A = this chain, B = another copy of it.
Amino acid sequence: MDEFEKTKRTKLVRAAQRGHYDHKTVHAILDEALICHVGTVIDGKPAVIPTAHWRQDNRLYIHGSKASRMLRAAQGSEVCIAVSLMDGLVMARSGFHHSINYRSVIVYGVADLVEDAAEKLDALELFMEKIAPGRWPELRPATDKEIKSTTVLAVDLKEVSAKIRTGPPVDDEPDYALPIWAGVVPTRLTLGEPIADPRLAEGVEIPAYLLPEAS
């Protein structure tokens, strides 16, 4: 199984059993999550911005307007990208042992500018495939102006770790006898019924890839 090499920054010290470094686990979390949080350093101070992300092999992509302050701070610089999926609220018998079930990935790396127009367009198509597989060929094609005004950055997945907590609370042994309800309240991101644009052209049907049963 391919694994990312642990570094000082990615090796879990506490709760080391929650750490995962294999490509498969990391990729699955990155692919399921729609948004990430990108950390940069601006004038020596931390800045964090949420944005969408996508992945191909061991390359993680983000994009946005050429005018975005975050992208300008990230371009060619060290970034830290965090992706988190919340799976449940862990209710223990003491406040101290309450927790959250989650799957997260932390990526450290330099954000490279994707300069080649063809590579950029391929990357954007890949992003659409993640969100709505099959939608890209149906869309009005991208114009050169649109591609030029979009910045795409890529971070090579090298210094990466995943962290996962699952299962019931872990309480202090004597506390298990207490008459306190304990367990997990599952949480998940759900997609609702699509809402058509009020300006939808007449006769346009909702595509199959957006129907709730497709997800």
CB of A109, distance to nearest CB on chain B (Å): 10
CB of A128, distance to nearest CB on chain B (Å): 6
Check A139/B95 contact, CB under 8 A, given A176-B201, A204-B181, A210-B181: yes
Asked if A98 lies at the interface with its beta carbon under 8 angstroms from chain B, I say yes
**Pair A195/B199 contact, Cβ less than 8 Å:** no
Chain A residues within CB distance 8 Å of chain B = 9, 13-14, 34-35, 37-42, 44-50, 52, 65, 67-69, 78-82, 84, 86, 88-89, 91, 93-96, 98, 100, 102, 104, 106, 108, 124-125, 128, 131-132, 135-136, 138-143, 146, 150, 168-169, 171-172, 175-201, 203-207, 210
**Pair B142/A95 contact, Cβ less than 8 Å:** yes
Give the distance in Å from the alpha carbon of A81 to the alpha carbon of B50 in the complex: 11
A-B contact pairs, 27 of them (CB 8 A): A13-B67, A13-B69, A14-B65, A35-B84, A35-B102, A37-B37, A37-B39, A39-B39, A39-B80, A46-B78, A47-B80, A48-B48, A91-B194, A93-B139, A94-B146, A95-B124, A96-B143, A168-B195, A169-B197, A180-B204, A181-B210, A182-B196, A182-B199, A185-B192, A185-B195, A187-B192, A188-B190
A200 CB contacts on chain B under 8 angstroms: 181-183
Say how many copies of this protein the assembly contains: 2
**Pair B180/A128 contact, Cβ less than 8 Å:** no
Give the distance in Å from the alpha carbon of A57 to the alpha carbon of B52 in the complex: 31
**Pair A197/B178 contact, Cβ less than 8 Å:** no
Give the distance in Å from the alpha carbon of A138 to the alpha carbon of B136 in the complex: 53
**Pair B199/A181 contact, Cβ less than 8 Å:** no
**Pair A45/B108 contact, Cβ less than 8 Å:** yes
From B81, B86, B128, contact of A95 by CB (8 A): B128
Check A68/B199 contact, CB under 8 A, given A50-B102, A179-B204: no
Give the distance in Å from the alpha carbon of A176 to the alpha carbon of B201 in the complex: 7
From B89, B175, B205, contact of A181 by CB (8 A): B205
A47 CB contacts on chain B under 8 angstroms: 9, 39, 46, 80, 108
A178 CB contacts on chain B under 8 angstroms: 140, 201
